[in-house]
Structure 1
Amino acid sequence: MIEVRELTKRYGATTAVDALTFTVRPGLVTGFLGPNGSGKSTTLRMVLGLHAPTSGSVTVDGRPFTDRPRGLRHVGALLDAGDVHGGRTARAHLAVLARSNRIPLSRVDEVLEEVGLAGAAGRRIGGYSLGMRQRLGIAGALLGDPPVLLFDEPLNGLDPEGVKWVRGLFRRLAAEGRTVFVSSHLMTEMEHTADELIVIGRGALIAAESLTEFAARGRRLSVTVGTPDRAGLTALLLGEGAEVEEEAGVLTVTGLSAARIGELALEHRVLLDQLTTRTASLEEAFMELTADSVEYLAGDAR
Structure 2
Amino acid sequence: MIHVHNLTKRYGATTVVDGLTFTVAPGRVTGFLGPNGAGKSTTMRMILGLTSPTSGTATINGRRYRTLPAPLREVGALLDPEAAHPGRTARAHLLWQARGAGLPRRRVDEVLELVGLAAVAHQRIGSFSLGMRQRLGIASALLGDPAVLLFDEPVNGLDPEGIRWFRGLLSQLAAEGRTVLVSSHLMHEIQTVADHVIVIGRGRLLADMSMAELAARYTGGIRVVASDTTPLTAALVSAGAEVRSADGALLVSGLEAAHVGEIALRCGIALRELTPQHTSLEEVFMELTAAATPHRSGSIPASERSQA
TM-score normalised to structure 1 length: 0.80
Post-superposition CA distance 1:65-87 (Å, at most 9, x none)? 10024311110000000111011
- Determine the structure 2 residue equivalent to 1:133: 133
> Are 1:194 and 2:194 counterparts?
yes
SS at match of 1:87: coil
For 1:146 and 1:217, how far apart are their aligned partners in 2?
34
Q: Following superposition, which runs of at least 4 residues in structure 1 exceed 6 angstroms of deviation?
A: none
> Are 1:259 and 2:248 counterparts?
yes
Unaligned segments of structure 2, at least 5 residues: 224-243, 251-275, 298-308
SS at match of 1:191: helix
- Determine the structure 2 residue equivalent to 1:28: 28
Instruction: Name the count of aligned residue pairs.
Output: 253
Write out aligned runs for 1:103-252 (5 A).
103-220=103-220
Post-superposition CA distance 1:246-291 (Å, at most 9, x none)? xxxxxxxxx6513269xxxxxxxxxxxxxxx964322111111112
Change (3 A) 1:287 1:176: same
* Paired amino acid for 1:258: D
| Same amino acid, percent of matched pairs | 63
Shift in Å at residue 221 of structure 1?
Answer: 5.0
Post-superposition CA distance 1:200-222 (Å, at most 9, x none)? 01110001110111122331259
Unaligned segments of structure 1, at least 5 residues: 224-254, 262-276
CA contact 1:218–1:279 (8 Å) conserved in 2? no
SS at match of 2:193: coil
* Paired amino acid for 1:281: S
Change (3 A) 1:105 1:290: same
Post-superposition CA distance 1:147-191 (Å, at most 9, x none)? 100000001011111111001000001111110110112321111
- Determine the structure 1 residue equivalent to 2:58: 58
- Determine the structure 1 residue equivalent to 2:44: 44
Shift in Å at residue 63 of structure 1?
Answer: 0.5
CA contact 1:81–1:137 (8 Å) conserved in 2? yes
- Determine the structure 2 residue equivalent to 1:5: 5
Change (3 A) 1:278 1:59: closer
- Determine the structure 2 residue equivalent to 1:281: 280
Change (3 A) 1:278 1:69: closer
- Determine the structure 2 residue equivalent to 1:265: none
For 1:196 and 1:278, how far apart are their aligned partners in 2?
21
Post-superposition CA distance 1:59-110 (Å, at most 9, x none)? 1001001002431111000000011101100000000111111111110000
